[in-house]
Structure formats: structure tokens, C-alpha cells
Chains A and B, each alone.
Chain A
Amino acid sequence: MSILSRLRAPRSPDDACARALFAGRRLPPGAPASQQALARLLEAAAAPGTARELTGEVAAAAAFVQVTSQPRRRSRTGRMLAAAACAVAVAGIAVYASVLPSPHHKIVPVPFGVPAAHHAQPSFGVPATRGTTHLPFRAGAANHTAPAQVATRVPPRPPRREHARPKGRAAWKARWAAGQAAALHGGGR
């Protein structure tokens, strides 16, 4: 044991002494004087309340009576009203969610990059010319390269060939008129 620790040892209470001090028990007779003084100090600190400390008893009791006699802030009626308001709000949200218009249902998958149910053909990153859902936040050329939008696009229609035979009622009429003219010319010869 060094000199320093020997000097310090009598002043520092060991575990048993500390336990006795905290429990309010008396120290053994052979305890050092500093620990005896410490025990007296703690005993004095934990002494019963003095008259000076207990002067506010009447005021404290009066405050207690005043506080306990006051009506509760939230009465039963108030709680019932709050519960009714909550129920109405929840019911309104539920009704609103059930009657959402169909376009809203269609655009729901769009922000998540999932093709909507009405898009029959899968897309493979081809730039869109039609079929893209137009939303306000999608406007602009830069959005055409966003991966979330690529998945929702429909493959474009191939470019119209100029030499292909026209289709439709007007094309059929034109072909019929041309045939008539050819027949007339042929008959004329």
C-alpha cells in the first residue's frame, strides 16, 4: 500500500460503511473519526422537518382544496363531442375514398412506375408519342427520359408509309371512283 493510499484510506468509507450510512444505521465503534462525523452529518441532514420548513402547511392544504374543487377541464359532454367529431371525420374520409372517380384510380400506379391495368402492351423504354398519361408534374422534355415514366408508355405507332394503300371509307370511295373512271375510259376506247 502506498503512502498516498494509506493517507486516503481512513477518509474514504468502504462499501459496508457506505451501506450503513445510507441505511441510517450506526457505524461500528472502531470507525474512523471522519466517518463518524460523516454519519452525524447525514443524520442531521435527514432529521425530521423543522418548524420553519413546515410553515406552509395551511397554504398547501388550501391550494389542494382549491385545485380539487375546480371542475375538470374536459367534461363528459366535451369528450363525447370530440369522439363524435372524430367519428364523422373518419366516416367522411372512408366515403370519399370509396367514391373516387375512375381516372384517379388509373393514375394511382403512375408515380410508382407500374403500368396501369388498361395498358395491355408492355413497354420497353421506347419514347412515347401517345398513350402517356399527362400529369402536370410530367410536363417538359426532360421528363421523357425518367425511368418511372418509361414503364408506363405505350410503344409508338410505326410511321405511316406514303405508298401504302389507304384504308377507310374515304379511301374506298376514292378507289371506287378511280375504278369507275378507268372503266369509262376503257369502255370509251
Chain B
Amino acid sequence: MLRAAAAGEEAAFARLWRDTHPPLLRYLRVLAGDRAEDVAGEVWLEVARGLARFKGGELEFRSWLHTLARRRVIDMHRRETRRPVRLTASAGELDRPAADDTAAAALDNMSTEAAIALIATLPRDQAEVIVLRVIAGLDVGQVARIVGKRPGAVRVAAHRGLRSLAARLGQQHVTQ
């Protein structure tokens, strides 16, 4: 499929997109929030440009895809730092549910969006590692290369993230 897509076959690219876009979008929701769709579009454009030169298997492709996504998010944050956008608070923004409400929603119906929203409440490094390990299906070494940390640090961050999630879910069980 990858070779066919690299050769320019539209159907192969569409299948590749179907398989890898949902995990990418969830990863970007954790990192970029509401702008995940925009960043994902930029990432796929970059993939389309560089796919002919890509060499590797499916796992390497997923790793490359998430590396591109991470770089795009970093670029976006840099742009925002240079030119900060000041938004006036609206009633809808102020009415956003807090982390506890997100946990409750995740426990109630366990929808994908609620689960991602709960993971996004973790510290960024822990949330990123958990998404890459669980949703993108990457191993510790690949995650370490993507986030620029040692494998030991990735394991620690993943374990802490799981512990925090378990604690939040446990609190919800107790309160319910």
C-alpha cells in the first residue's frame, strides 16, 4: 500500500489516509486542541510531497507522520508566541467543562472524544506519550525519537500518565 501510494496511486493513498488519519487527528487534538484539523491538513500536504522519497514500512511511516505533525505543532506554537492573538472571553468559552466533568463524561459513555479529552487534561508530555503509545501504536524507541527523549524517560512519563488517569477515574468511581 505504501509503495503504491508512493508511486502516486490515489486509491492507495486514500486507504493509507483512512488508516492513519484518525490516530493522527487524536494526537493533534491533544497537542493543538481546536486547530487539530488545520494542522492535520498541513501534515498530509507535506506527506503527499515527500511520500515518493519515503523509505520504510508501515511502522516507520506512522512514526514519520507523527514526527511531521509534532513539528507542525511546534511551528504553530512559535508563530503564536511571535504574534499572540488576544481573544475576548465569550459565554461559550467560559462554560467549558472542567477536567472532572470530562472524566465523568468519559466514564459515562466512553466515547472516543471524551477519552481523548480526558487524556488531554494530563500534562503535555505524559498525554503525548500515552497517545503515541496507545493510539498511534508506536513502541517506546519510536516514541522516544519523536519526542526527543530517552526511552527511560518515555516509560516514566507513560507510567505517570496512566497513574494519573487511573487516579482520576478512581475518584469518579468513589464520588459516584
Interface Cβ pair total, 8 Å cutoff? 117
Whether A38 sits at the interface, judged by CB under 8 Å, is yes
List chain A residues, Cβ under 8 A from B115.
41-42, 44-45
Q: Are A21 and B110 in contact (CB under 8 A)?
A: no
Interface string of A26-46 (1 = CB under 8 A from B): 000000111101101111111
| CB-CB contacts below 8 Å: B75-120 with A | 106-107, 110-112, 114-116, 118-119
Looking at B58-66, B145-153, B163-171, the stretch in contact with chain A turns out to be B163-171
Given A45-B119, A60-B21, A68-B48, do A40 and B110 touch, yes or no (CB 8 Å)? Answer: yes
Whether A81 sits at the interface, judged by CB under 8 Å, is no
Given A45-B119, A64-B13, A67-B48, do A11 and B134 touch, yes or no (CB 8 Å)? Answer: no
Whether B55 sits at the interface, judged by CB under 8 Å, is no
B interface residues, how many (CB within 8 angstroms) = 45
| Complex CA distance for A22 and B158, rounded to whole angstroms | 9
Whether A162 sits at the interface, judged by CB under 8 Å, is no
Q: Are A48 and B22 in contact (CB under 8 A)?
A: yes
| Complex CA distance for A54 and B20, rounded to whole angstroms | 10
Whether B35 sits at the interface, judged by CB under 8 Å, is no
Whether B10 sits at the interface, judged by CB under 8 Å, is yes
Q: Are B44 and A63 in contact (CB under 8 A)?
A: yes
List chain A residues, Cβ under 8 A from B131.
45
Partner of A57, one of B14, B26, B41, B172: B14
Q: Are A10 and B170 in contact (CB under 8 A)?
A: yes
Whether B49 sits at the interface, judged by CB under 8 Å, is yes
List chain B residues, Cβ under 8 A from A49.
18, 21-22
A interface residues, how many (CB within 8 angstroms) = 37
Closest to A22 in B: B133
List chain A residues, Cβ under 8 A from B21.
49, 53-54, 56-57, 60
Q: Are A63 and B158 in contact (CB under 8 A)?
A: no
List chain B residues, Cβ under 8 A from A38.
162, 165-166, 169
Pick the most buried of A50, A64, A65, A68: most chain B CB atoms within 10 A of its CB: A64
Binding site for B on A (CB under 8 A): 10-13, 15, 18, 21-22, 24, 32-35, 37-38, 40-50, 53-54, 56-57, 60-61, 63-65, 67-68
Given A41-B119, A45-B135, 17 extra CB contacts under 8 A? A11-B170, A12-B167, A13-B159, A13-B162, A34-B167, A35-B166, A38-B162, A38-B165, A42-B134, A45-B112, A50-B112, A53-B21, A54-B21, A56-B21, A64-B10, A64-B48, A68-B8
Q: What are 27 A-B contacts with C-beta separation under 8 Å?
A: A11-B170, A12-B166, A18-B159, A18-B162, A21-B162, A33-B170, A34-B170, A35-B166, A37-B169, A38-B169, A43-B110, A44-B106, A45-B26, A46-B137, A49-B18, A49-B21, A50-B112, A53-B25, A54-B21, A54-B22, A56-B41, A57-B17, A60-B17, A61-B10, A61-B14, A64-B13, A68-B48
